[in-house]
């Protein structure tokens, strides 16, 4: 790691060498984090991101698409309707998605069957 000596200007300004700016993708207005540690001043790029803000329709999509059973869909649908979202207007959600879901009883039977299969495999191994 090569070191470079730089001079601090008025008001504490410093200029980072162009090689470092290019290496770290820094440009005008880039944010940097500074910290004092072990008698040193450390500077590193700040990685800032804007979190995605979901619309009510997007939230409703995730609520419904993650429903595992018809009964869970029906319970979640009440929340979606309370949000003021019409489920028929949700992009990416098939109109008959609920029809392809198992009932709570079917889901429980699948889960028990799969658990028995795994236990049997474990006994064989």
Question: Crossing angle of helices 104-124/70-82, nearest 10°?
Answer: 130
pTM exceeds 0.75: no
Dist. CA 38–CA 83, nearest whole Å: 52
Buried (b) or exposed (e) across 65-86, using 16+ Cβ within 10 A?
A: eebebbebbeebbeebeeeebe
Helical H segments across the chain, by residue range: 18-23, 56-65, 70-82, 104-124
* 50 within 8 A of 44, measured Cβ to Cβ: no
Is the pLDDT assigned to residue 1 strictly greater than 70? no
Q: What percent of the chain has pLDDT over 70?
A: 98
- Name the DSSP class of 43: E
* Token pair of 25 as six digits: 């993708």
What percentage of the chain has pLDDT greater than the value 90? 84
How many CA atoms does the CB half-sphere of 121 hold within 13 Å?
A: 6
Q: Tens digits of per-residue pLDDT, 78-115?
A: 999 999 999 999 999 998 999 999 999 999 999 999 99
- At 8-21, the pLDDT tens digits run 999 999 999 999 99
pLDDT, mean over the chain: 92
pLDDT tens-place string over residues 67-84: 999 999 999 999 999 999
User: Which residues are 42's β-sheet partners?
Assistant: 35
What tokens appear for 68 in the block?
A: 């595992």
């Amino acid at each position: 790691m090569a070191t470079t000596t730089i001079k601090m200007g008025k008001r504490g300004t410093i200029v980072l060498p162009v090689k470092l700016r290019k290496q770290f993708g820094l440009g005008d207005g880039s944010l940097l984090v500074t910290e004092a540690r072990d008698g040193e001043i450390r500077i590193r790029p700040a990685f800032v991101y804007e979190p995605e803000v979901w619309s009510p329709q997007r939230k409703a999509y995730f609520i419904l698409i993650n429903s595992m059973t018809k009964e869970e869909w029906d319970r979640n649908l009440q929340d979606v309707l309370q949000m003021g979202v019409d489920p028929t207007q949700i992009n990416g959600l098939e109109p008959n998605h609920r029809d392809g879901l198992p009932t709570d009883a079917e889901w429980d039977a699948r889960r028990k069957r799969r658990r028995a299969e795994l236990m049997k495999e474990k006994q064989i191994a």
